[in-house]
């Protein structure tokens, strides 16, 4: 993704919301982690989901860091 000042820039023209989803491969014997972010054009807000359950950004960050991934510049 490119850089923008607000979330609205990532929502396709003519639509009200967008979603992005990634799946991170879990360690041997552990399940994969699925992270989804849904964001709205109108009120410039976003919702986070961790393995299909509503979550917080803090919980998502903890899950990613727990897998040994350093992604500080992506938030």
- CA 66/CA 19 separation, integer angstroms: 24
Q: Which residue has the higher pLDDT, 62 or 71?
A: 62
- Name the H helices within the chain: 57-66
- Report pLDDT digits (tens) over 10-66: 777 788 888 889 999 988 888 899 999 998 878 878 899 999 999 999 999 999 988
């Amino acid at each position: 993704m490119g850089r923008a000042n607000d979330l609205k820039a990532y929502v396709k023209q003519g639509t009200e919301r967008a979603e992005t989803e990634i799946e991170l491969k879990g360690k041997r014997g552990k399940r994969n982690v699925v992270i989804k972010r849904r964001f709205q054009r109108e009120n410039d807000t976003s919702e986070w989901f961790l393995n299909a359950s509503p979550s917080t950004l803090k919980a998502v960050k903890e899950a990613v860091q727990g897998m040994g991934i350093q992604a500080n510049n992506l938030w």
